[in-house]
Homo-oligomer: A and B are copies of this chain.
Amino acid sequence: MASFTVENYLKTIFQLSLKAENGASTNAISEALGTKAATVSDMLKKLDAQELITYKKYQAVKLTNAGRDIAVNIIRKHRLWEVFLVEKLDFKWDEVHDLAEELEHIDSAELVNRLEGFLNNPKFDPHGDPIPDRDGNIHRLNQSPLTELKSGESGYVTGVKDSSREFLQFLDAQNIHLGNKIEIVEIFEYDKSRTVITGGKTLSLSNQVCKNLYVKTEN
Q: What is the interface of chain A, defined by CB distance below 8 A to chain B? A: 85, 88-91, 99, 102-103, 106-108, 111, 114-115, 118
Contacts and interface: CB of A to CB of B under 8 A. Distances in A.
Contact of A89 (B89, B91, B103, B118): B118
A89 B106 contact: no
15 contacts: A85-B111, A88-B118, A89-B111, A89-B114, A89-B115, A89-B118, A90-B114, A91-B114, A99-B106, A99-B108, A99-B111, A102-B106, A102-B107, A102-B108, A103-B106
A136 to B, nearest CB: 22
A89 B102 CA distance: 20
Given A85-B111, A89-B115, A102-B107, 12 more contacts: A88-B118, A89-B111, A89-B114, A89-B118, A90-B114, A91-B114, A99-B106, A99-B108, A99-B111, A102-B106, A102-B108, A103-B106
Contacts of A107: 102
A107 B90 CA distance: 18
A107 B101 CA distance: 11
A38 to B, nearest CB: 24
A53 B67 CA distance: 41
Nearest to A4: B4
Q: Which 8 A-B pairs have the closest CB atoms?
A: A89-B114, A102-B106, A89-B118, A99-B108, A99-B111, A88-B118, A103-B106, A89-B115
A101 to B, nearest CB: 10
A106 B88 CA distance: 17
Contacts of A103: 106
A115 B111 CA distance: 16
